[in-house]
Structure formats: C-alpha cells, structure tokens
Structure 1
C-alpha cells in the first residue's frame, strides 16, 4: 500500500523496552530501542530520542511511553510503542537510495501523520520513517 495524502490509516508499532536517559514535565528522552548509530553517516544521531509528554508541549507523536513519563526517572526502563491508532496522511515519500539520517538500517520511506482532529493543521503531525529499524506498520482503514 502506498498511502496518499488525505488517506486515513491505522499506524502501530510493537512495544519495546527502552532505558530512560532523562524525564521532565515536557519530555522523556530514551535510548531508542530500534536501530543502531551509523558512524559512517555525516549526521550525528546519539542513539536517543526525546518524546513530548503532556499537553503543554504543543508537539505530538503517536509513540506512547509506559509507565507515564511523570513516573519515570533517568535509569528507569519503560516501554515505547504505538498502539493501533487511526491517523490522517499529510505526506508520503519514498527514498531511493535509503535516507541517511544517522542510524542503521536507513529508512526507505517516510509518512507524515496527523491526528484525525488535527487534519486541517499541517504543523500538528509527526514524520514516521518506514523500512528501516523502527517496526512501524501502516495499514489502510477498512470500514
């Protein structure tokens, strides 16, 4: 399936354990459980990802952390996942060759998704990378 702008899709990602690097009222930073640092890349990804938490941040990602970020401290282990979520496609692109982002394996596609209630706000979404390390699944909505 090649998603088109305006499609509704179900996005999910199986849970994985991650070590918390830091946590505060705005973000929880974790050692990303998927992929490895690509030392041959010009991009210097450090192996961590900061996920926004709480409504005050103004950013949105479909990833969820359990237990809640408010219960986490540096050194804790949490679970990162995307439960099956119905989202709107804002953009889709394929990468040939795979896109060099500083991690391996490099993604072969990207999909920009938005919550259904924010589909009219193009800045309210999140780019997810496909075909690389993150086991993100995108499925068509069948009603």
Structure 2
C-alpha cells in the first residue's frame, strides 16, 4: 500500500452499444461473460463521458470522442497516463464471481476509487510515477 504508479492503456477501437446523457455503454473488448455466473454480465461496460458524473473521477477509462455518439459508432477507449496510489490489495480465497471469465483471484484499489482485477485481460501498463 502507498506505492505510486502511472497507469495507461493504449487506445482500442470499440463499438458504442448505448448512449445515455452522462455515460456511454461500449462492447468491452476484454473478457467473456461467464455462463456459470450468478450475475448476467452482457459484455458491455459503462464509461462516463460527463466530467460532472460521479464516476468520472473513479475510473481512468476515457472515450474519444465523447460527444455526438450513437449506438453502433466506433470510438477509442483508453487510459491516458494517470498517476495512482495503491490503497488496498485484496486476495480472494476462491476466485471472485464477477460475471466474467477469468474470475479474478485478487484486486488492487487505487486512490481514485478504481479497482483493477488481477488475472484479467485489460492491457494496462504500469510505469514509475512522474516525480521519482
């Protein structure tokens, strides 16, 4: 806990599934719905597009463009370089059922409120913090 990193993820082309006033649902390119899960994840993930949305500061994921979108549009999903601080490291006795395959064996919670599941396919890169 307390370790600092810069996380990022290169832009990935994704399809817009649904547009709401302050968020956009995209077809998540990493992960497969778990048919044996008690949850029914449909493969879509909500990404806030409004900086006033409560989740804006709790997720590093961003879409470009953020405006003028309709279902079926293609957008770029990425994590711009973001400095984070590890707040908590969790390990699970049994892999956690979150509706997706692979079921994670742990998670890391960062100061921005973002959880990163361990054992998942998102290609998030870690690098040393800017002020080292």
TM-score by length of 1: 0.78
Measure how far apart 1:100 and its partner are: 1.8
Matched, 1:88 2:85: yes
CA offsets, 1:43-62, max 9 Å, x none?
Answer: 21111111112122122310
Return the match for 1:74 from 54, 71, 89: 71
Unpaired runs of 5+ in structure 2?
none
Question: Secondary structure, in 3 states, of the residue corresponding to 2:52?
Answer: helix
Question: Secondary structure, in 3 states, of the residue corresponding to 2:75?
Answer: strand
Computed over aligned residues only, the root mean square deviation of the Cα atoms, in angstroms, reads 1.9
Measure how far apart 1:30 and its partner are: 0.6
1:132 equivalent in structure 2: 120
Return the match for 2:46 from 39, 46, 50: 50
Runs of 4+ deviating beyond 4 Å: none
Q: What is the distance in 2 between the residues matched to 1:37 and 1:96?
A: 22
Question: Secondary structure, in 3 states, of the residue corresponding to 1:56?
Answer: coil
Q: What is the distance in 2 between the residues matched to 1:56 and 1:84?
A: 20
Judge conservation of contact 1:36–1:104 (CA < 8 Å) in 2: yes
Q: What is the distance in 2 between the residues matched to 1:31 and 1:11?
A: 22
Unpaired runs of 5+ in structure 1?
116-124
Return the match for 2:3 from 4, 7, 10: 7
More helix by proportion, 1 or 2?
Answer: 1
CA offsets, 1:64-121, max 9 Å, x none?
Answer: 11122x1321110112111221112222212343322111122232121234xxxxxx
